[in-house]
Structure 1
Amino acid sequence: MKIALLGTGFGQAHAAAYARHPDIEVVMFGRNPDKTAEAAGKFGFAACTDTGRAFEGDFDLVDVCLPVPLHAEYVLRALDADSHALVELPLAGTMDDARRVVEAAERSDRQVFVDMFERFVPANQALFDAVREGTYGRLEQLTLWNWTAHLWPGVSLGLGTLPLEAMHSDMDIVTRTLGRPRSIDVATVARDADSAAIEATLHFDGAFARDSVSSLMPMGWGARGGYTAMFSDGVVDAASSMGFDGKPTGTVTAYTVGGADELSLPPADPYTAMIDHVLACLRDEDDNAIAPASALDALQLTLDVDRLVNGDTA
């Protein structure tokens, strides 16, 4: 299998997962020759600065880890080149572009994948299972939080970027467990253009959800997050942390009238699990669980929050 990996920033997270598969050939594409060669060299991949070569029909999969405004365009170019496509979050910056990708994917015999990596987090899978199976009754209240320091140099996490960069995965959890809300309220605070916090409250019939994201934390905090899901017959509480050393920890505990029970979940790197899922689908060993159509509700909700925070920037 031959893969064109576009982007040397977050693309390195995907590169690390591909590097676990010695039977895969990867070419890493970037604009800066030195930066591209350095990033590709970390993983033993070839480097290229001519992005057009990714669409000459030589690659089985084009992996798009580029700025959001380019996502839809490059996925469509991959399909036109008869390649499968994987795109980083979000699928697109507008619903019109997202629907164009969905329609093109449905017309094509190639597969398109969206990096909904949070779906592969065991704690989130435990929540999805509990809702689907009614393990603890009906979900009535869901609180999600993600508070982080600036762990990625040069990356802005201000009000202009937090909704799409930090809330999108949470909105996927919300839509998969409660559906689309009937109304949304937001509160914000900004320290400067790159550091801010947002809290969104989403109202449903008989339930509500709250999502809190922040980039106001000091470096020693690292990144921490989780959820508390309150059901009619119990509570599921998940917490995870990642220090500045990049090492994650996490727990999931279920509380019922019978007491507390820490759930035993397998360790998993969600990015590796996502890449492994894509490769399994391309080998006809699995069905696509992160197709673009499945990401539309979460993207619409994220864009709704973004408009409340930043106004209509279209």
Structure 2
Amino acid sequence: MKIALLGTGFGQAHAAVYAARRGEVEVVMFGRNPDKTAEAAGKFGFASSTDMDQAFEGDFDLVDICLPLPLHAEYVLRALDADKHALVELPLAGAMDDARRVVEAAERSGRQVFVDMFERFIPANRALFDAVRDGTYGRLEQLTLSNRTAHLWPGVSLGLGTLPLEAMHSDMDIVTRTLGRPHSVDVTTVARDADSAAIEATLSFDGAFARDSVSSLMPMSWGARGGYTATFSDGVLEAVSSMGFDGKPSGTLTACTGEAVRELDLPPADQYAAMIDHVLACLRGEADNEIAPATVLDALQLTLDIDHRINGNT
């Protein structure tokens, strides 16, 4: 399978997964700066190019788009026009009109589009989705999520201008997949400077509420920590995770029911590897697409609504 990987920033996270699947995939990494692109591609033994047009004109099966947000929808549409499958980093688009255009184009094309909703492949999150679907612990009444991090990625701004789409979007996907769209949303913020801030959102539903807290105010020794507490009518699921400089998360999942408390076994998983393995399986016809554009619209709308409240974006 031939893959055109666009982007040398976060694209390197995808590149590391592809490199571990050498023999199954052939990758060319595309970027704007010749030296930076060649250096990044060389780390993984890939060819490199600065001719972005070749990603759409060449004989690639999949275009993997890890470019800045304003280019996401545009480049997915270019891939579909070129009769290629597309994988795009989240969020799918910075505006709902663009997101819907992608959904409509994908449905017309017969090609598959995947959005990197990596959090859907985290075992603790899958356990939550299953519990809600199966009613394992009764009805979900309260969901509290947190995502607090230090500045682990040099040069990346995590201020109020970026936190909603960069950090809250995945949490809003968990919220909408478990509770649906909220009736109301209240948002509180604090900013240390242009690149460091915290946001807390409280979301109301019929007979339930959710709270999401994201922050980039933490010291380097903190790393990144997060998780959720899901309170059901007949029990509680609590997930705790942490991540250091190696980017590999560790975590626990605990179920409390009646008088019993037990830690649930979680299979080892790298969510980015699991996401890409899912994409490859779908393209081989071995799985159904769980991260198609139509499945992310509710979470994207909610995230954009929060972003508009904070930053006034449309």
TM-score range (shorter-chain normalised) is: over 0.9
Match in the other structure for 2:108 = 107
Per-residue Cα deviation, 1:246-279 (whole angstroms, up to 9, x for no partner): 3421000000113211000101000000000000
* Preserved CA contact (<8 Å) 1:171 1:298: yes
AA aligned to 1:232 is: S
> SS in structure 2 opposite 1:106?
helix
Distance 2:3 2:54 in 1: 12
- Deviation of the 1:14 alpha carbon: 0.6
- State the AA in 2 paired with 1:250: G
Correspondence 1:196-235 to 2 at 5 A: 196-235=197-236
SS at match of 1:160: coil
Q: 2: distance between equivalents of 1:143 and 1:200? A: 10
Distance (whole Å) between structure 2 residues aligned to residue 245 and residue 166 of structure 1: 19
The Cα offsets for residues 127-153 of structure 1, whole Å up to 9 and x where unpaired, read as 000000000000000000000000000
Sequence identity percentage: 83
Q: How far did 1:244 drift?
A: 2.7
Q: Distance in 2 between matches of 1:101 and 1:6?
A: 18
- 1:91-124 Cα deviation digits (max 9, x unpaired): 0000000000000000011100000000000000
| Post-superposition CA distance 1:196-224 (Å, at most 9, x none) | 00000000010000000000000000000
Q: Does 1:118 align with 2:129?
A: no
Structure 1 counterpart SS, 2:8: coil
Contact 1:157 1:195 in 2 (8 A): yes
Query: In structure 2, what is the equivalent of residue 304 of structure 1?
Result: 305
More displaced stretch, 51-60 vs 133-142 = 51-60
TM-score (norm 1): 0.99
1:87 has 2:88 as partner: yes
Structure 1 runs not aligned, ≥5 long = none
In the alignment, the residues of structure 2 paired with residue 152 and residue 309 of structure 1 have an alpha-carbon distance, to the nearest angstrom, of 23
User: 1:57 Cα shift?
Assistant: 4.1
- Report the CA distance between 1:189 and its aligned residue: 0.2
Native 8 Å contact 1:40 1:46 kept in 2? yes
Q: Which residue of 2 aligns with 1:22?
A: 22
Match in the other structure for 1:276: 277
Where does residue 7 of structure 1 map in the other structure?
7
Q: Secondary structure at the match of 1:159?
A: coil
Aligned length: 313
Alignment map for 1:18-57 (pairs within 5 Å): 18-23=18-23, 24-57=25-58
Amino acid at match of 2:232: F
The whole-number CA distance in structure 2 between the counterparts of 1:247 and 1:73 is 31
The letter for the 2-side match of 1:290 is I
TM-score normalised to structure 2 length: 0.99
Aligned residue type for 2:44: F
Runs of 4 or more, structure 1, over 4 Å off, are: none
Q: Which sits farther off after the overlay, 200-209 or 48-57? A: 48-57
The C-alpha deviation readout for 1:18-77, integer Å capped at 9, x for no partner, is 112122110000011111111101110001011111110411000000000100000000
Mind listing any 5+ residue stretches in structure 2 that lack a counterpart?
none
One-letter identity of the residue aligned with 2:289: N
Matching of residue 163 in structure 1 with residue 135 in structure 2? no
Contact kept, 8 Å, 1:28 with 1:48, in 2: the verdict is yes
**How many Å separate the matches in 1 of 2:71 and 2:179?**
31
Give the 3 Å change call, closer, same or farther, for CA 54–296 of structure 1 in structure 2: same
